Amino acid sequence: MAVYKLFPTQDASIYSAQPAMNTGLDPILDVSNFVTNDNPISNVARSLIKFDQSQINDVIQNVASITSSLNFTASLKLFIAKADNVILESKVNVYPISGSWNNGSGQYLDQKQNTTGVSWVFSDYSGSNKWPIQGFYEDLTTGSYSGSNNEGGCNWWTGSGGYDGIGSLESSQIFNLRSDKDLNTEVTDIVKVWYSSSNDLIGVLTPIANEGFIVKWEDSTEFVTSSAVTPQLSFYSVDTNTIYPPELDIKWRDFTYSTSSGDLKPNRILTGSYPINELTSSISCSFTQSLPNDPTYTGAGSGATFGATFNSASMLNVYVKEIGLGYVAGETLTWSIEQLDALPDITGSLTPATVTLSTYDITQLETVSTPDLFVALDDNQGIFYSESINQFRLNCRPQFPVRVYTTESIYTQNQALPSSSYYAIKDLETNEFVVDFDTQNTQISCDPTGSYFTVYMNGLQPERNYQILIQTNIDNNVIIMDEKYYFKVVNG
């Protein structure tokens, strides 16, 4: 599948009310503006999440092989554990962090406060490096400034400083009372800047290293002391015992669709123009000749051989002898006057022989055209290790095929799904989509042997069972096939 999921190497929440507290091993990531009732004070929580840059580079360079175009999208996903007081329309912002930080080993409100890692004031541990509160790059990074009541709270980049086609590095999502509380926001520009910086592709631009994301409420929501503005979102962290850790989803389009390898149909008579009533032959009846193997041809096909039928004065047709490979409809093959006159028993050619290939001349995998279809999942081992990459293939045919006279079973003839076909993956226990139907990134490909798609198992939680669903569009009917295509991912 062209959806590759990465999981954090570090994450923690930082709290303005506990400026030295570390929560690096807590199962929850908080993003909140909590207001106390007494002498109203706003206590702000922000979350920091980091993904391994070497894993990001590996996906772009080796898995997707899109280094030249960087044609991908990236999304940060956080899954909600608890939401409170998200009443007014409020916006969560995501920025790339400026400056390194240490995960630590604390949890929220440990009996003895843990100060071994990042906190509101310190980036490493209590008493170590403080988050800078001055000396920011102009218009590029920011934080909580010196002299404010909330000094610290991390530093983050807001601008890219001239990266091609990239301006602001802010990503956001709006929440309200009835909105979905999972965070799913696009961070493509941030990931592209990290990739360019890590591979020295930036020239004289300011390097922006991958130090992770900061997730926070927008400035107009944080540190507001009104009881009406107290949104609190708690997401699962990478240390959760659930199946909902944060994800960085990298998506790219790996769709290709071709129902032919370009082999010509054997004995197929081709459409063309031939010498008519201008030949001289010593043979008075119709006869066939093999044509030279080097006609004028500029395509990529090869290996086909051709014959022609003649009568005493005319060339009647050209037909396929050996089928070859790689031919494309619209291509032409031309035998010159000299080549025709060099044939045995033929002289007097005044015009060359030219054929133009059509789709009917080339062997095509038939595309299923009825909503009543049968689809079977092939190349499914049933159990896959978490680092596996598997190409699933689909065997398709009409459920009620047209009755024709044939010497072989029509039930063994594979057909292709239409190009408007997609797949999705569900968790069998929760019945939730872990990969949803996506017209760009889960489109089912096709080659001359049939339809197929690729799944990267590392993005699926191990020791879980999954189900594949297929969606296709035939004659304006949207058909979803739920045929119990099951598989399991295991550790290994």
Distance CA 248, CA 49 (A): 10
pLDDT digit string, tens, across residues 140-178 = 788 765 456 678 899 999 887 778 778 789 999 999 999
361, 385, 403 — which closes off a domain? 361
> Residue 422 belongs to a domain with what CATH number?
2.60.40.1930
pLDDT digit string, tens, across residues 105-130 = 999 989 899 999 999 999 998 888 99
Q: What is the mean pLDDT of residues 474-490?
A: 93
Same domain flag for 407 and 297: no
Structure-model confidence comparison of residues 206 and 374, the more confident one: 374
> Helix (H) and strand (E) counts for the chain?
3, 32
In this predicted structure, what is the pLDDT of residue 361?
92
In this predicted structure, what is the pLDDT of residue 141?
80
Give yes or no for residue 1 having a pLDDT over 60: no
Residue 37 lies in a domain: yes
In this predicted structure, what is the pLDDT of residue 147?
54
By three-state DSSP, how is residue 258 classified?
coil
Question: 453 — alpha (psi -120 to 50), left (phi > 0) or beta?
Answer: beta
Give yes or no for residue 95 having a pLDDT over 60: yes
Give yes or no for residue 93 having a pLDDT over 80: yes
Residue 32 lies in a domain: yes
The DSSP bridge pattern shows strands 183-186 and 73-78 to be antiparallel
Give yes or no for residue 243 having a pLDDT over 70: yes
Give yes or no for residue 248 having a pLDDT over 70: yes
Same domain flag for 105 and 215: yes
The DSSP bridge pattern shows strands 10-15 and 171-175 to be unpaired
Same domain flag for 96 and 221: yes
Question: What does the DSSP 8-state code read for residue 257?
Answer: B
Same domain flag for 63 and 203: yes
Same domain flag for 13 and 135: yes
pLDDT digit string, tens, across residues 296-342 = 998 989 999 999 999 889 999 999 999 999 998 899 999 999 999 99
Distance CA 460, CA 442 (A): 15
What is the Cα Rg of the chain in Å? 32
Joined together, the tokens standing for residue 143 give 């934080």
187, 218, 251 — which closes off a domain? 251
Residue 468 lies in a domain: yes
361, 388, 419 — which closes off a domain? 361
In this predicted structure, what is the pLDDT of residue 135?
65
Same domain flag for 93 and 238: yes
Number of structural domains found in the chain: 3
User: H-helix or E-strand containing 348?
Assistant: none
Same domain flag for 242 and 100: yes
Give yes or no for residue 206 having a pLDDT over 70: yes
Residue 14 lies in a domain: yes
In this predicted structure, what is the pLDDT of residue 136?
62
Residue 108 lies in a domain: yes
Distance CA 233, CA 213 (A): 16
Contact present, 6 and 247 (Cβ < 8 Å): yes
Q: 68-72, 91-95, 346-350, 457-461 — which is least confidently predicted?
A: 68-72
pLDDT digit string, tens, across residues 255-283 = 999 888 889 999 999 999 999 999 988 88
Residue 300 lies in a domain: yes
Whole-prediction pTM:
0.81
User: H-helix or E-strand containing 337?
Assistant: helix 337-341
Indicate the Cα dihedral angle 232, 238, 241, 245, nearest 10°. Answer: 70
Same domain flag for 380 and 464: yes
Q: What is the mean pLDDT of residues 198-226?
A: 89
Question: Could you tell me the residue range of the domain that residue 404 belongs to?
Answer: 373-490
User: H-helix or E-strand containing 197?
Assistant: helix 188-198
Residues whose CB falls within 8 Å of the CB of residue 203, separated by 6 or more in sequence, listed in order: none
Same domain flag for 14 and 162: yes
Indicate the Cα dihedral angle 344, 346, 350, 356, nearest 10°. Answer: -70
- CA nearest neighbour of 373 among 241, 267, 483, 460: 483
Same domain flag for 59 and 167: yes
Phi, then psi, of 445 in degrees rounded to 5:
-85, 175
pLDDT digit string, tens, across residues 389-442 = 999 999 998 888 777 666 666 666 789 999 999 999 999 999 999 999 999 889
Same domain flag for 137 and 276: no
